[in-house]
């Protein structure tokens, strides 16, 4: 399915994400990395309160926007691929110590060399994966 270029809402939404990350850094001294917050909220008792508050508020606020703007979920994506992708994202972000938010939004802003390398890797493999699936194998398009 093709999607429209949305420069204004994407820039504005991105700025809100950045504001959230700065707020968490200023008020709690913490990095807004979703994969890390999610894993540690499940596995560690200490600090669980703020992590659950952050994650639940994130889901609720997104849900409010979906309701107000009439956003429908994607449907019909093949489940075997969905499961494989979920396993890879969970495994990869654990082993690589971060995802789009932790390495991307936060790590780059902390001028972390590790995060710059991580972002280059996952963006590169993301571009390559879509190229192979859509243009070489002609799948999942």
Partner 1 sequence: MNRITAAALAGALFGLGLAVSGMTNPDKVLNFLDLAGRWDPSLALVMGGALAVTIPGYAWLHRRGAGWGGVALPPQPSTRIDVRLLAGSALFGIGWGIAGYCPGPALANLAHASLEPFVFVAALLAGSQLGRFATPRA
Tokens of 116: 């710059």
Structure-token pair, residue 23: 């707020």
Q: Least distance from C-beta 128 to partner 1, angstroms?
A: 7
We find the least distance from the C-beta atom of residue 40 to partner 1, in angstroms, to be 11
Q: Which residues of 8-22 are buried (b: 16+ CB within 10 A; e: fewer)?
A: eeeeeeeeeeeebbe
DSSP label at 2? -
Nearer of residues 7 and 45 to partner 1, judged by Cβ: 7
Q: CB 4 → partner 1: shortest distance, Å?
A: 7
Q: How many CB atoms lie within 10 A of CB 77?
A: 9
In angstroms, give the least distance from the CB of 45 to partner 1: 15
Residue 42 C-beta: closest distance to partner 1, Å: 7
Task: Tell me phi and psi for residue 106, to 5 degrees.
Answer: -90, -50
- The DSSP secondary-structure symbol of 52 reads H
DSSP conformation letters of 94-130: HHTT--IIIIIIIIHHTT-HHHHHHHHHHHHHHHHHH
């Amino acid at each position: 399915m093709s999607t429209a270029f949305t420069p204004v809402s994407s820039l504005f939404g991105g700025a809100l994400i950045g504001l959230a990350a700065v707020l968490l850094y200023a008020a709690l001294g913490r990095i807004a990395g979703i994969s890390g917050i999610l894993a540690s909220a499940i596995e560690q008792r200490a600090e669980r309160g703020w992590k659950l508050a952050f994650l639940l508020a994130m889901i609720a606020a997104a849900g409010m926007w979906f309701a107000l703007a009439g956003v429908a979920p994607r449907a019909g994506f093949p489940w075997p691929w969905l499961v494989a992708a979920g396993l890879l994202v969970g495994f990869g972000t654990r082993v690589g110590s971060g995802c789009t938010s932790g390495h991307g939004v936060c790590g780059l802003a902390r001028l972390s060399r590790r995060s710059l390398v991580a972002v280059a890797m996952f963006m590169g493999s993301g571009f390559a994966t879509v190229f192979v699936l859509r243009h070489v194998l002609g799948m999942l398009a």
